Structure 1
Amino acid sequence: MVTTTATSLFFPAGFSFPTSSKTSMMLGGGSDKLGASGIKSKPTSSGGLQVKVNVQDNPKINGTMVTLKNEDEDETPLPPLRNFINQLPDMLIDPFVQEELIFSQNFSIRSYEIGPDQTASIETLMNLLQETALNHVRNIGLLNDGFGSTPEMSRRNLIWVVTRMQVLVDRYPSWGDVVLVDSWVSASGKNGMRRDWLVRDSKTGETLTRATSIWVMMNKQTRKLSKMPEEVRREIEPQFIDCAPILNEDSRKLPKLNDNTLDYVRTGLSPGWNDLDANQHVNNVKYVGWILESAPVSIWESHELSGMTLEYKRECGRHSMLQSLTAVSGDITGDLLDAFRVECQHLLRLESGSMVMRGRTEWKPKYANNLGSLGLIPAESS
């Protein structure tokens, strides 16, 4: 009996298993209680999990028949790898596939990632974007000991930091949904990199979220921005795609928010130990949570966040104390049909007054799509 083993955590596009009664594959997660389901696993030196599916022991996996021919039968290619892996139990979802220069990853939305509206939170979506970006770098073999740093970046104590991000959410996924995140990178000027994402429903192909971002390099020791060394450029340039951003840039200038123009403020914010990443850097998703701390509950109750434009100005340390300021445009207390959209301006600053981040968020009425289909609000407002 022939056993086919994949030696890498990441499979090439179009990969299909030769026929056999046993198939080994590498996945990023698993369980030590899979034996009862005909699935055997063991850790690997790379930190992944080698999962062996014995179809003879259990020919029915997650309600789907998987038929493999014996070695004395004619060899017939199995379905594409992505289809095959999606038949595995939910705990083994999250396959990685790279097609040319676009990296794709599936995610299942977990129960602890949803909020009061029974949909994924904006922080969940932002974390999925970051996870896909890091796995992209790891997949192409450029992830070194730094958090997202290439080998040449690590030699020079350089790390990536985001300076600008724009996100547009068409619909939030719900618990149990599986989303497909595509990501790719492009050049941004002489010293920057642009990363784009497209999030879709893996079953229907519906676009859920689009996002674009600009990244530059910072010296890990001096905490100052750095030019991109030529050695680093040669590492990452072959991965660049020459294309326009997935979102048209929001060119509107972000206003300067101050104590005279704010409507809401939240003080006493401070990063904890678990808010730091492997670079001892506050995760950019944490900043999003902070600016939303000062958004009034009345907005959350009647609207949902549909878009963000963020500018990251400086990092903050573990002992920093911050303030979150919000100014609201639009009537959030009137009838839903009278307040189609709400816009907020945000400022995150140190208690000393130094700006950490500023941004703009856009909110649409909950169930706006349903109201628009009934002709209750203009189509462009839905």
Structure 2
Amino acid sequence: MVASIATSAFFPVPSSSSAASLKNSKTTGEGSESLNVRRIAAKPASSSSAMQVKANAQAVPKINGSKVCLKPETLKHDEDAPSSVPRTFYNQLPDWSVLLAAITTIFLAAEKQWTLIDWKPRRPDMLADAFGLGKFVQDGLAFRQNFSIRSYEIGADRTASIETLMNHLQETALNHVRIAGLMDDGFGSTPEMTKRNLIWVVAKMHVFVEKYPSWGDVVQVDTWVSPSGKNGMRRDWHVIDCQTGESIVKATSVFVLMNKNTRKLAKMPDEVRSEIGPYFIERTAVVDEDSRKLPKLDHNTAQHVRKSLTPRWGDLDVNQHVNNVKYIGWILESAPTSILESHELAGMTLEYRRECGRDSVLQSLTSVSTECSDGLQGSTMECVHLLQLENGDEIIRGRTKWRPKRTGLQQHGGLATAST
């Protein structure tokens, strides 16, 4: 059926009326004289038939887009007269350029479809689904999502920044809640939390970075939740390299509930516990928490101070406070450049004291436990941080660990790495 339609598009078939006219023109005679068209003898016809011949002669029929002149033998000598357009085999054929264009289009479409079906990745790490929203693993108690490191997510060291990795952790946690069907309004709020104007806020976080992925690497992030006391929830993450299976990041955190209207901490209602309780996993934290007390810095004890830090509109989350990942960038604003150039962040412990709004003006204070001098380039280092408002109210306290930067071969797992 399709073939007949395609053929008729390029080789038109005369209609029944045209065929009848053609037949009349071939078999009708004028007076007693008969027409002999294509050597077909015709019977004598009446005068009315002669009038029909005259009418048909005025409407010249077309075959395959070309005019065909059918004339009686009495006018046969006119065919011998020279014509302005010579009749050749070529000009009697259809427009082959249209047919060729149609065939080319069909072949290009078929090639495209075959390419999509027969597509094979060039690299093994491309087998990972870097664009999916994740899936549940471990009998539905843990959640897994893959991320591809983008070119705009790497820094001066050609590796992913700590902010990039922290954003991956946060995105996986939110997708965990959403795909579980627990997200309602707000940043990870469940339906029962929304009824009571409750939101989650991070209270403490401990992160250990074993290596930093590079542009084009695909990382796998696993996350799960556990109870933390009566009113808290602990969330853990484990990030690995999809190609090598090497561990990249281990992190654990504690979240508590806060009233969105009063901005004060709240107890966990039984209704909220019943929502998230089925997803709890009873296991120890993936990272041993640093139990050392974080000291408070001031302008007398801090060695490096960065003032007049202000959040932008894009730094706010849907709960109208500064995203906690932004705090990490702010505490590193006061870290000395000598450390950033020779060392990489190996781990950090953060204690969140209060939230920060869009009109806040902050100060970042840092104290280095070991000065980074030429004689200590190969040593590990530790820094203490404080992010506070200009009036002195604390936003976050932190401690960071730094290790000497690895060589290019070490970063890709070719050599033994420096100890932390």
TM-score, with length taken from structure 1: 0.75
Change (3 A) 1:94 1:332: farther
- Give the superposed CA RMSD: 2.6
Given that 1:336 and 1:365 are in contact with CA atoms closer than 8 Å, whether structure 2 keeps it comes out as no
In the alignment, which residue of structure 1 is the partner of 2:119? 61
> How many residues matched?
307
Change (3 A) 1:259 1:239: same
What does residue range 1-382 of structure 1 map to in structure 2 within 5 Å? 56=114, 58-63=116-121, 87=127, 93-99=131-137, 100=139, 101-336=141-376, 339-367=378-406, 370=410, 381=419
Change (3 A) 1:115 1:223: same
Given that 1:104 and 1:182 are in contact with CA atoms closer than 8 Å, whether structure 2 keeps it comes out as yes
Residue identity in the other structure for 1:361: T
Equivalent-residue separation in structure 1 for 2:113 and 2:127 (angstroms): 12
Equivalent-residue separation in structure 2 for 1:356 and 1:162 (angstroms): 12
Equivalent-residue separation in structure 2 for 1:332 and 1:55 (angstroms): 59
User: Greater share of helix residues, 1 or 2?
Assistant: 2
Deviation track 1:70-94 (CA, whole Å, cap 9, x = no partner) reads xxxxxxxxxxxxx9x9549x8x633
Q: Secondary structure at the match of 2:374?
A: coil
Deviation track 1:337-368 (CA, whole Å, cap 9, x = no partner) reads 5x411100000000001111000000000117
How many percent of aligned residue pairs carry the same amino acid?
61
Equivalent-residue separation in structure 2 for 1:86 and 1:176 (angstroms): 9
Equivalent-residue separation in structure 2 for 1:307 and 1:204 (angstroms): 22
User: Greater share of strand residues, 1 or 2?
Assistant: 1
Equivalent-residue separation in structure 2 for 1:269 and 1:287 (angstroms): 11
Q: Which moved more, 1:165-174 or 1:139-148?
A: 139-148
Residue identity in the other structure for 2:326: K
Change (3 A) 1:151 1:287: same
Q: Which moved more, 1:190-199 or 1:256-265?
A: 256-265
Q: Secondary structure at the match of 1:160?
A: strand
Q: Secondary structure at the match of 1:359?
A: strand
Equivalent-residue separation in structure 1 for 2:223 and 2:246 (angstroms): 16
Which ranges of structure 1 fall in alignment gaps of 5 or more residues? Answer: 1-35, 39-53, 65-82
Residue identity in the other structure for 1:356: I
Equivalent-residue separation in structure 1 for 2:119 and 2:190 (angstroms): 39
In the alignment, which residue of structure 2 is the partner of 1:17? none
Deviation track 1:218-268 (CA, whole Å, cap 9, x = no partner) reads 111111111001100000000000000001110111112111111100000
Equivalent-residue separation in structure 2 for 1:228 and 1:63 (angstroms): 47
Determine which structure has more spread, i.e. the larger CA radius of gyration: 2
Residue identity in the other structure for 1:109: I
Q: Secondary structure at the match of 2:340?
A: helix
